[in-house]
Structure 1
Amino acid sequence: MNARGIFSGVIVLLFFLQTTLSSCSDDDLKKAAALSANKVALTKDRSLGVEVIYSDSAKVKAKGFAPVLDKVSPKTGNQYQEMPKGVNIDFYGDQLAKTGSITSDYAIMKETEQLTVFKKNVVVVTDNMTFLTEELTWDQRQKKFFSPKGKMKRPDGSYVDAINFSAPEDFSTTSFEQASGTTYVKGDLDP
């Protein structure tokens, strides 16, 4: 490149910088100073390929995996852990027999509130049912799961669409409202 080309490039660059800097008005700078004065701070720690094992009395109860786990600590407010690429949790009974699972495309764990919210393509699987929803909340204090609506399928092919779903942590029972669906009856119905 010759000196004339370099000189032309420098002039274009200086013109671009002058145009860009002059487009910032005093109002914009005042807004930036106000934001800076509030010292809005957010700390985010990212971990990749996270596996967590939960045990009680030296017995494994659950294993969870998240491809991405972000621990977020706002300067003001409560800490939370976010799993933007989803989560898979497997539950275990005696002799490490798998008793169920929860998967979702996104999850957030709010530490202070002791709530975990699973969102987008949430699937809960146990031996006696599969529950499909777009949002499921686990309340650690109440030891229950809640969902505004979803579809519960049984192994025999019956299903129910319902709202206000709730279940204990082990999904041994379920309750819901305004249900509709299909069920199958076994046995001889003739008198």
Structure 2
Amino acid sequence: MAQLSLSSCGEDDLKKAATLSRKISLDTTRTTGVEIIYSDSAKVKAKGFAPVLDKITPSSGAILQEMPKGVKIEFLNDSLKVKGSITSDYAIIKDTEKLTIFKRNVIVVNENLTFNTEELIWDQNKQMFFSPKGVVTQPDGSFANAENFSAPQDFSYYKTGSGYGETYVKENFGE
């Protein structure tokens, strides 16, 4: 036995529904072959490269900068030599919140670690990186599957909430 239920909207209901579906107006500006410089206290700290940068300005709300074809950021030391990098297939900068979100095939490389994840968030206010999960590989080949990853913006150390992995321990016989 099947049951059929029918309902209808009155004219007042349609007016209410129309106000719920507001149109959002966006202004988009596309730039190709972009180089972004990040400096702190008049010192260049990083350079970013994106094949495409879309600046999205909603009629109401915060400005977004989207890199739909990916981004590569190189971290520089005081001598302006590359000391690490982040690459991803997609990134978005939320100017108002001061957040940069890297997504898809995110790879962080420096002399202390390689970190692979699908999402990495840089919080400019806290000067910290956060990721829900990823794999940390050390130069000696040891690795950890990390959850709730966090690191300062120079990746000098990292913390995880939980994880598992493989590490190598040197044996000191007679030393």
Class of the TM-score when normalised by the shorter of the 2 chains:
0.7 to 0.9
* Inter-partner Cα distance in structure 2 for 1:100 and 1:188: 32
1:144 matches 2:128: yes
Match of 2:40 in 1: 56
* Amino acid aligned to 1:103: T
Match of 2:5 in 1: none
Q: Which runs of 5+ in 2 are unaligned?
A: 1-14
Match of 2:29 in 1: 45
* Inter-partner Cα distance in structure 1 for 2:161 and 2:168: 20
Query: Structure 1 length as normaliser, TM-score?
Result: 0.77
* Inter-partner Cα distance in structure 1 for 2:173 and 2:158: 28
Query: Structure 2 length as normaliser, TM-score?
Result: 0.84
Distance verdict in 2 for CA 1:34–1:176, change over 3 Å: closer
Match of 1:110 in 2: 94
* Amino acid aligned to 1:82: E
2:115 to 124, 127, 131: 131
* Percent of paired sites with the same residue: 60
Within 5 A, what are the aligned runs for 1:6-155?
38=22, 40-155=24-139
Match of 1:177 in 2: 161
* Inter-partner Cα distance in structure 2 for 1:39 and 1:123: 37
* Inter-partner Cα distance in structure 1 for 2:30 and 2:150: 32
CA-atom RMSD in angstroms? 2.1
Q: Which runs of 5+ in 1 are unaligned?
A: 1-29
More helix by share: 1
Instruction: List structure 1 runs of 4+ shifted beyond 4 angstroms.
Output: 33-36
Match of 1:187 in 2: 171
Equivalenced residue count is 159
* Amino acid aligned to 1:119: K
Looking at CA atoms only, which structure, 1 or 2, has the larger radius of gyration?
1
Offset of residue 87 of structure 1? 0.3
* Inter-partner Cα distance in structure 1 for 2:163 and 2:30: 41
* Inter-partner Cα distance in structure 2 for 1:82 and 1:140: 17
